Amino acid sequence: MQVVNAVMMAQRLLKPRLATAGLVVDATAGNGQDTLFLAANTPAATVVWAFDIQSQALTNTKELLAKYEVAAKVHLVLDSHAHITRYIKQPVDAAMFNLGYLPGGDHKLSTLPQTTIQAIAQTLQLLNTEGLMTIAAYPGYEQGRLELRELHQYLAAIDQKKFSVACWSMVNQTNFPPILYLIEKKRSG
Ligand SMILES: C[S@@+](CC[C@H](N)C(=O)[O-])C[C@H]1O[C@@H](n2cnc3c(N)ncnc32)[C@H](O)[C@@H]1O
């Protein structure tokens, strides 16, 4: 199994935090791999929220969660992650954003800069102290390149007194490999 890629790095970085997490979010459920990762690596009482704008994505996610018997702890929401605060009022311990389009699905139903940034801003408001957020961005297609450019500008301007924002990328890969961002909410004072 390949372990050096953006998605695997996101999982490795998040995993230690999941052991004590009360509430975690998958902002882009897709085919459910990240939702399954969150559900399978958190305590039984942890609440997992997963969002997607495509019903097919949520159907795929639901089937995967049922197969691994972790569906009971997951709320699946057919809505944009830009509305995250309509659903979640409690502190978020970990959140995953895996941007782009549904693998094998319609490329036009890709994440978009404006709603992605809205969703990240809302999740930052909800993020618990020492909570972690990962964002995997895909500049390998035109829309993804535009999204990455706006996203990077937004993330680079986040107040460093409140959050640490890091970036991880492959350096020997051609064709615009994925970029992983990691955001941690600092302890105040
Ligand atoms: C790369 S896929 C996610 C992969 C997924 N996490 C997995 O493990 O299979 C990106 C997903 O984002 C979804 N998406 C696009 N715009 C969205 C939005 N505004 N809110 C929530 N999901 C969105 C797409 O429908 C697609 O399923």
Q: State if residue 56 touches ligand 1 by the CB under 6 angstroms criterion.
A: no
Predicted confidence at residue 82, as pLDDT, reads 98
Pocket test for ligand 1, best of 53, 87, 96 (most atoms within 8 A of CB): 53
Task: Give 182's strand partners.
Answer: 134, 166
Q: Looking at ligand 1, which atom is closest to the CA of residue 31?
A: 9
Q: Which amino acid is at 157?
A: A
Instruction: Pick the residue whose CA is nearest to atom 21 on ligand 1.
Output: 52
Predicted confidence at residue 188, as pLDDT, reads 78
Predicted confidence at residue 106, as pLDDT, reads 85
Q: State if residue 38 touches ligand 1 by the CB under 6 angstroms criterion.
A: no
**Domains plus CATH for the chain?**
6-185 (3.40.50.150)
Q: What is the pLDDT along the chain (189 residues), one digit of tens a residue?
A: 778 899 999 999 999 999 999 999 999 999 999 999 999 999 999 999 999 999 999 999 999 999 999 999 999 999 999 999 999 999 999 999 999 999 888 888 999 999 999 999 999 999 999 999 999 999 999 999 999 999 999 999 999 999 999 999 999 999 899 999 999 999 974
Q: Looking at ligand 1, which atom is closest to the CA of residue 96?
A: 6
Written as six digits, the tokens of 75 are 């709320």
Written as six digits, the tokens of 169 are 């990328």
Tell me how far apart the alpha carbons of residues 41 and 107 are, in angstroms, rounded to a whole number.
Answer: 30
Q: State if residue 143 touches ligand 1 by the CB under 6 angstroms criterion.
A: no
Q: What number of CA atoms fall less than 13 Å from residue 56's CA on the CB side?
A: 7
**Nearest Cα residue to 50 out of 10, 87, 13, 9:** 87
Instruction: Pick the residue whose CA is nearest to atom 23 on ligand 1.
Output: 52
Tell me how far apart the alpha carbons of residues 140 and 157 are, in angstroms, rounded to a whole number.
Answer: 24
Predicted confidence at residue 108, as pLDDT, reads 87
Tell me how far apart the alpha carbons of residues 16 and 3 are, in angstroms, rounded to a whole number.
Answer: 17
